[in-house]
Amino acid sequence: MWTSQPSAFNGRDEPDVTATIALAASFTLAIGSVVFVAGVVLGGLLLALLSLLVVIAVIGLAFLLRWLD
């Protein structure tokens, strides 16, 4: 029978929400950067600014949840 193991990050047998959100924020930053550059290159300034806004919002959410923790 399979049993869950403690996380290597926090040593507890439960998910670390802030670490998960920080990881999601870094992926969002990477993807958002690509979309931003593609939007600027292709002339879609609105798309580029929208992607930049989403990236800033996700990173801000990660910092907010880290601060509330």
In a domain? residue 4:
no
In a domain? residue 23:
yes
CA–CA dist 20, 11 (Å, integer): 15
Output 9 or 34, whichever has higher pLDDT.
Answer: 34
Q: What is the domain count for the chain?
A: 1
Residue 59 near residue 25 (C-beta atoms within 8 A): yes
pLDDT of residue 38: 79
pLDDT of residue 1: 44
Contacts of 50 (CB under 8 A, 6+ apart): none
pLDDT of residue 6 exceeding 60, the answer is no
pLDDT tens per residue, range 17-57: 777 777 777 887 788 778 778 777 877 777 777 777 887 88
Please give the residue range of the domain that contains residue 40: 17-68
pLDDT of residue 23: 79
